[in-house]
Structure formats: structure tokens, C-alpha cells
């Protein structure tokens, strides 16, 4: 290669540029960081990295060109040597009588051509050397092929300057001095070596120490180190030991999932027989979602989910599908869904696929669109609505004419409005013939969102469409939505409604209960006659306005409701049985529930927020009642305009409304504390 560079003008120039770039990289590597501000240092470092990346691409292209020309030169050299050797052999056979004289003349001419003019003629013993490739050393320099037309001092190196940092460096030119040809250095790759893992005995010892100190974070750290060591027996013992804390057992299950083999998954699934609710309902799906091995996930869906006779196992796998880190084999999942007989499991699969938001899930979701249970189809519709692209909206628009359930149609209508599907205007106007008041309101709001018009009746919408052909304008954000009535800025189209009011001492003492009573009194007075309603007040006990169920909002029932609310203004008990009250409200099967509360729950069947959310959402799957929440939060601040409430109770109320298809709004209530402030 070096011999070729000596004799090739193009390759010599390329090689000199390559060496200049390499020397420049070495200089930049040794250079100290520039002084100055941190911003300047970061800018300069980013500029140097981009320059080095650009030169790395240049060096690769140079090496490819050099190797290409070198291979051509080597092939030509070998062909020349072979041709010379064959020519000499044929010459010896045909001219044996004049071989000595002819050989001497030929040898003398070859010697003259091969040696420089200053060298003396070789002897007859070296007149016929055997053809071989001369050995080369890497320390040879490139001789100039053409003498420079000007002195080297007259042509200075071209300098490239960064205008921001003032950094300048030389750029190699054809007239610059020729550098030597050292051997190429090996490629440099900086690797960050991870610290070596400790022995399993050390992990067990540290785990025992943290256990004595009651250091939960230290124990969890050792569990995940044990997962890297594949310590299946140790992690299984922690996960199955009921004397440990539930949070520690849950992390042990997650560590088992990080191992990711079938034995680890079987240990996790066996824990479904545990007595702890949180472990079986929350921890097992959470642990399964940490799986990242594709083969294990394939086995989990094909052999466990598709063939397990246990409903609990299939339910846990269905919950985890939305969060599993490995890709989901949707063909295998679709085959398993065709054999699934439990509607709740199919519902959970549909909801989980919506969490992934992957277009590949459309095959399974379209299968669930044909399910016989309306709540399974509703979950599939909402999951398809989370997918991006026009296909999802058009697929739901096609299903609009095939769906018999008003509750599923309501979900489709909301998705079409959110996706701004203008092709849906005409089908939505045709859908205004429905008798279901709740669906009618959803269609009206969708048409307002798509067109910007605020008509209230089917006739007005049809006349507008006939005259304009459905030409839409950009809707304004300040459009007031039509409604049967408003409550705390929430528009309602409904045929049945239940108010649930927190009357505990905490609400009474801070004045929040009084505000809730006034708002409900105003809303009841404005209810249309065709709306069915009831009122539930709760503290330590639950009290109904009408124990017989829902009643029509006529004048007689409205006056009785006002008297009932006046009687509730007397403080009675301190506790708050939130779950029990909402459970009884759901049993009335209304279209809407309006909860006015600060989020406190201190008594009843369940007081844990996660458990309340799970139980209410599970019960509401088969009803789809909208739970709307008005959060009333107490404060001693006078100016609350820019103050946003935060905390566990706020998050609970938000999730309660979100998981049950309702609205969430909040209000600050200013009160005086015991010091009169």
C-alpha cells in the first residue's frame, strides 16, 4: 500500500489529508477545555463533537478509496510479473543459439531502467532476479511528485475558524510539508465498565442487615441485584413469605419478572392464591408487566392466557398486556381471544390494548368490536379511538350504523368529535332521531365541536345541512354548549341523576357543606320535568331523599328535596363513608352521579383510595354511569386565583371521574381557623 502511495498522485494527496485529520484529532484530544462560562464550554464541546463526527465519515471514505486503488495496483503488478516471466521462458525456447547475447542485452537494458542514473551497472550474476514483492516499512515518507511552482513559505496553510469561539486549526493542502506514514492506530472506543456484581452470599448478608434496620429501600436494592444474579430461590422465598411487607413482596415479584424465564413467571402466577387483595389484584399484573423476553411473552399468551382454566390467571395476564415491555404477538392473542369465554377477561384485554396505542392491535380490537357484550365493544371502541390516523376514525364511522347499544354509540360519537372527522356530520345528524336523552346530548355536543353551530333540535340541524351542504367553520373555543341544565359549569343531557353530598363534620366546620347544599338546591329547581333524580347525604351514615328510588323532578318533589336539604344542615357525625354512599348511588342505575366532596374517607367497607377506585370501576363496567366530581377544597388563603390543589385526595377524585367517564372540577372554599384567621 505504501509503495502504491509513493507512485500515485491522487492517493498521496488523500493520505496526507488523512494524516492531517488524525493529527488534528490527537491535538483536540489533548487540548484543555476553554476557560470561561459553563454555557461557552458546552457550546464549544458540542461544536467539536460535530466536527469530529464529520471527519470520521471523511476518514472512512478515504480508506475505502485507498484500498480500492491499492487493490488495482496490486493486480496490475502481479499481472506484469507473470507476463514478464512467461515472455522470458518463451524467448529461451525459440532462440537457443542467440540466448547468451540476447539475454545479456536484455539484462543490461532492464538494469538501466530499474536503477537510478547515479548508480553503477550491476554484475552479470544479478542480471536475472526472481520476481518478488519488495518488503516495505511504515516509516517511509511520500516524495513530492511535482516540484512546487512557488516556495512553500509563500503558500500558507488554509485556516478554518469557528466564529463563535475563536478556535482555529490548520487544514492540509497539497503544498503542505509531507508527513511520515506511521502505522494506523487501532480504533478507540470508550466503554463504561459496570462494577462487578457481588456474590449471592454478600447479597443475602446485606439483605439481612437492611431487614434488621427496617430499611425498605436497601432491601429492594438487594432484590434487584439478586435478579441480575438469577437468584430464583432467594427471590421466590421473599415473594412467598407472608411475614414480609406487601411492598417488599411486590418488588420481589418484579425482580422475578426481570429474570424473565418461565420458572420465574410460574412463581408469580402461583401467588394469585395469596390472601392479600393488593398482592393478587395489583402486584401480580404489575410484576408481569416488567417482562421483556419475547419468548417468555409468547409462551405467556399462547400457553398460559390461551389455555389456563383459572379465571384469575387470565385476568392478571389481560391486565398486564397494556404494559408488558416486549412486543405482543397479536396473531397469537387473537387466536386466544376467539376461545375466551369470560366477558370480563375480553373487556380487560380491550382496555389493555388501548394503553399500548399500537396499530398492530387493530386485528384483535376489530374482533372485539363484534363481541356480544356491549361493555366489551365499548372498551374496544375507546381503544381504537386512541390510535392515531384517519383509519381509526373511518373504522368507527362505519361501525356507527351497526352498533345497537346507545352507550357504545356515545363513545363512538365522542371519539369522532375529538378526531375532527368532518365526514361524520351527516351520519350524526341522522342519529338525532334516538330517544335516549344521554346519547342525544352527546351527538349535539359532537356536532357543535365539528361545525361551530349551536342548534338545539334535530329540525334546526337538518335545515342547516340542507341549505349549506354541511360546510363547516372552525369552531370557537368560547361556544356555549347547549344543555338541558348546567351544574357548576358542567352541561348535562341526562334522563336520571343522583346528587351525593359529603356532610361530615370536616365539611360542615369549613363551610363547604353549606356551599354544596346551595348548589344542589339551585340545580334541583332547574331540573326538567322528565328527569329522574335523588339526593344522598352521608357522614357516618347514609341518608336518602327518597328511599323508594328515583323520582321525577316535578314541583312537589322539588319542594320536598328543598326541605330535605334544610334538615341536613345540622352537624351530626364526623366520619365519611364515601364508598358505601357511591355504591348505593350506583345501585339506582342513573345516567349521572354528581359527587360534592373534599375527598376524605374515614369509614365504611373500604377506606383505601386504590381499593375504592378498583371496586367502583369494576361495578360500573356493567352500567357506565358517569361519575362527575366537584371537589370542594378548604383553605385559609384569601387569594386563590392561581393556586392549584394537590395531594392524595385530589388525585383520588380526579381518577374517580376519569375512570368513570365523568367531569372533574374544583372550587376553593375560604374559611377561618380556630385563631380567627
- What share of the chain has pLDDT > 70, as a percent? 77
Q: What is the mean pLDDT of residues 311-316?
A: 92
Integer Cα distance of 494 and 492 in angstroms: 6
Sign, Cα dihedral of 286, 288, 292, 298: negative
pLDDT of residue 675: 56
At residue 92, the pLDDT reads 59
Between CA 305 and CA 336 the distance in angstroms is 7
Candidate from 139-148, 312-321, 537-546 with smallest mean pLDDT: 139-148
Question: Any idea how long the chain is?
Answer: 677
Listed range (57-66, 87-96, 528-537) with the worst mean pLDDT = 87-96
Query: Cell 386512541 appears where?
Result: 386
- C-alpha cell at position 506: 370536616
Residue 588 has pLDDT above 90, yes or no: yes
**Per-residue pLDDT reduced to its tens digit, 322-338:** 999 888 999 999 999 99
Query: What pLDDT was estimated at residue 527?
Result: 92
What was the pLDDT predicted at 52? 72
Residue 474: what pLDDT?
A: 65
Quote the radius of gyration of the chain (alpha carbons, Å). 41
Sign of the Cα pseudo-torsion (429, 431, 434, 440, in order)? negative
Task: Provide the pLDDT confidence category of residue 179 given band limits of 50, 70 and 90.
Answer: low
pLDDT at 103 over 50: no
Q: Is 57 exposed, middle or buried (0-12, 13-18, 19+ CB in 10 A)?
A: exposed
The fraction of the chain above a pLDDT of 90, given in percent, is 29
Backbone angles phi, psi at 393, to 5 degrees: -65, -40
Number of continuous H segments (helices) and E segments (strands) in the chain: 28, 11
* Distance separating alpha carbons of residues 514 and 532, to the nearest angstrom: 24
> Going along 459-531, which residue ranges are E strands?
485-487, 490-492, 496-502
Residues 336 and 272: their CA atoms lie apart, in Å, by 21
pLDDT value, residue 454: 86
| pLDDT tens readout for residues 620-645 | 998 899 999 999 888 888 787 788 88
Hey, CA dihedral for 271, 277, 283, 289, is it positive or negative? positive
pLDDT greater at residue 565 or residue 188: 565
Contacts of 434 (CB under 8 A, 6+ apart): 406, 409, 440, 443
User: Under a CB-based contact definition with an 8 Å cutoff, are residues 504 and 632 in contact?
Assistant: no
Residue 332 half-sphere exposure toward CB, CA atoms < 13 A:
17
The DSSP code sequence of 410-448 is HHHHHHHHHTT-GGGHHHHHHGGG-S-HHHHHHHHHHHH
- d(C-alpha 533, C-alpha 542), whole Å: 17
Q: Above 90 in pLDDT, residue 56?
A: no
The alpha carbon of 458 is separated from its chain's Cα centroid by a whole number of angstroms, namely: 42
Report the range of poorest mean pLDDT among 28-42, 48-62, 441-455.
Answer: 28-42
For residue 604, the tally of other CB atoms under 10 A from its CB is 19
Highest mean pLDDT among 29-33, 34-38, 89-93, 240-244 belongs to 240-244
Instruction: Report pLDDT digits (tens) over 343-369.
Output: 999 999 999 998 888 888 888 998 999
More confident residue, 297 or 388: 297
**Cβ–Cβ < 8 Å for 220, 248:** yes
- How far is it, in rounded angstroms, from Cα 352 to Cα 271? 22
Q: Residue 630's CB: how many other CB atoms inside 10 A? A: 24
Distances (CA, A) of 126 to 123, 443, 517, 590, 607: 6, 104, 120, 113, 106
SS3 648: helix
DSSP-derived 3-state class of residue 169 = strand
Distance in angstroms (rounded) separating the CA atoms of residues 215 and 225: 16
Whether 178 has a pLDDT exceeding 60, the answer reads no
Rank 60-69, 133-142, 561-570 by mean pLDDT and report only the highest.
561-570
pLDDT tens digits along 478-511: 677 888 888 988 899 999 999 999 988 888 888 8
Cα 639 to Cα 641: distance, rounded to the nearest angstrom: 6
Amino acid at each position: 500500500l505504501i509503495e502504491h502511495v509513493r507512485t500515485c498522485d491522487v492517493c498521496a494527496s488523500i493520505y496526507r489529508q488523512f494524516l492531517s485529520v488524525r493529527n488534528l484529532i490527537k491535538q483536540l484530544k489533548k487540548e484543555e477545555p476553554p476557560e470561561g462560562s459553563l454555557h461557552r464550554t458546552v457550546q464549544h464541546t458540542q461544536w467539536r463533537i460535530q466536527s469530529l463526527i464529520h471527519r470520521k465519515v471523511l476518514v472512512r471514505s478515504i480508506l475505502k478509496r485507498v484500498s480500492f486503488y491499492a487493490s488495482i495496483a496490486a493486480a496490475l503488478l502481479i499481472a506484469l510479473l507473470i507476463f514478464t516471466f512467461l515472455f522470458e521462458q518463451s524467448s529461451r525456447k525459440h532462440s537457443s543459439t542467440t540466448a547468451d547475447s540476447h539475454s545479456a542485452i536484455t539484462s543490461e537494458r532492464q538494469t538501466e531502467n530499474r536503477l537510478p542514473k547515479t548508480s553503477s551497472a550491476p554484475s552479470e550474476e544479478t542480471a536475472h532476479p526472481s520476481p518478488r514483492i519488495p518488503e516495505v516499512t511504515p516509516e517511509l515518507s511520500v516524495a513530492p511528485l511535482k516540484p512546487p511552482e512557488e516556495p512553500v513559505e509563500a503558500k500558507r496553510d488554509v485556516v478554518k475558524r469557528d466564529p463563535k469561539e475563536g478556535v482555529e486549526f490548520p487544514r492540509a493542502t497539497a503544498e503542505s510539508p509531507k508527513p511520515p506514514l506511521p502505522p494506523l492506530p487501532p480504533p478507540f472506543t470508550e466503554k463504561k465498565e459496570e462494577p462487578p456484581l457481588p456474590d449471592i452470599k454478600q447479597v443475602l448478608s446485606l439483605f439481612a442487615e437492611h431487614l434488621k434496620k427496617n430499611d425498605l429501600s436497601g432491601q429492594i436494592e438487594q432484590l434487584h441485584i439478586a435478579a441480575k444474579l438469577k437468584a430464583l430461590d432467594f427471590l421466590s422465598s421473599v415473594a412467598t413469605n407472608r411475614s414480609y411487607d406487601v411492598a417488599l413482596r411486590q418488588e420481589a415479584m418484579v425482580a422475578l419478572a426481570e429474570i424473565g424465564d418461565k420458572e420465574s413467571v410460574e412463581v408469580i402466577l402461583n401467588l394469585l392464591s395469596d390472601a392479600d387483595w393488593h398482592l393478587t389484584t395489583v402486584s401480580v399484573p404489575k410484576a408481569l408487566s416488567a417482562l421483556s423476553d419475547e419468548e417468555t411473552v409468547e409462551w405467556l399468551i399462547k400457553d398460559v392466557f390461551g389455555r389456563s382454566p383459572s379465571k384469575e390467571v387470565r385476568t392478571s395476564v389481560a391486565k398486564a398486556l397494556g404494559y408488558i415491555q416486549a412486543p405482543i404477538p397479536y396473531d397469537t392473542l387473537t387466536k386466544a381471544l376467539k376461545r375466551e369465554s369470560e366477558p370480563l377477561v375480553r373487556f380487560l384485554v380491550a382496555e389493555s390494548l388501548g394503553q399500548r396505542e399500537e396499530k398492530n392491535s387493530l386485528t384483535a380490537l376489530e374482533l372485539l368490536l363484534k363481541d356480544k357484550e356491549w361493555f366489551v365493544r365499548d372498551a374496544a371502541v375507546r381503544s381504537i379511538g386512541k390510535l392515531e390516523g384517519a383509519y381509526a376514525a373511518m373504522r368507527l364511522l362505519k361501525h356507527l350504523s351497526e352498533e345497537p347499544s346507545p352507550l357504545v354509540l356515545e363513545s363512538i360519537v365522542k371519539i369522532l368529535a375529538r378526531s375532527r372527522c368532518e365526514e361524520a356530520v351527516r351520519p350524526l345528524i341522522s342519529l338525532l332521531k334516538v330517544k335516549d336523552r344521554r346519547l342525544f346530548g352527546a351527538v349535539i355536543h359532537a356536532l357543535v365541536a365539528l361545525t361551530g353551530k349551536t342548534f338545539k333540535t334535530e329540525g334546526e340541524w337538518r335545515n342547516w345541512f340542507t341549505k349549506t351542504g354541511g360546510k363547516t367553520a372552525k369552531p370557537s373555543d368560547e361556544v356555549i354548549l347547549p344543555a338541558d341544565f348546567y351544574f357548576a359549569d358542567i352541561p348535562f343531557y341526562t334522563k336520571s341523576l343522583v346528587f351525593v353530598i359529603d356532610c361530615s363534620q370536616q365539611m360542615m366546620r369549613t363551610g363547604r357543606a353549606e356551599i354544596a347544599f346551595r348548589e344542589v338546591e339551585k340545580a334541583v329547581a332547574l331540573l326538567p320535568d322528565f328527569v329522574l333524580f335523588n339526593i344522598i347525604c352521608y357522614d357516618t351514615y347514609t341518608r336518602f331523599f327518597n328511599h323508594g328510588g328515583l323520582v321525577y323532578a316535578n314541583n312537589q318533589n322539588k319542594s320536598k328535596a328543598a326541605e330535605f336539604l334544610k334538615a341536613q344542615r345540622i352537624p351530626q357525625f364526623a366520619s365519611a363513608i364515601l364508598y358505601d354512599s357511591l355504591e348505593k348511588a350506583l345501585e339506582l342505575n342513573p345516567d349521572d352521579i354528581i359527587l360534592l366532596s373534599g375527598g376524605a374517607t374515614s369509614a365504611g367497607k373500604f377506606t383505601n383510595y386504590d381499593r375504592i377506585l378498583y371496586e367502583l370501576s369494576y361495578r360500573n363496567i356493567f352500567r357506565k354511569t358517569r361519575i362527575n366530581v366537584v371537589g370542594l377544597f378548604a383553605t385559609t388563603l384569601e387569594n386563590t386565583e392561581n393556586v392549584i390543589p394537590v395531594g392524595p385526595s385530589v388525585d383520588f377524585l380526579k381518577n374517580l371521574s376519569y375512570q368513570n367517564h365523568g367531569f372533574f372540577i374544583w372550587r376553593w372554599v375560604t374559611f377561618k381557623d380556630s385563631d380567627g384567621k
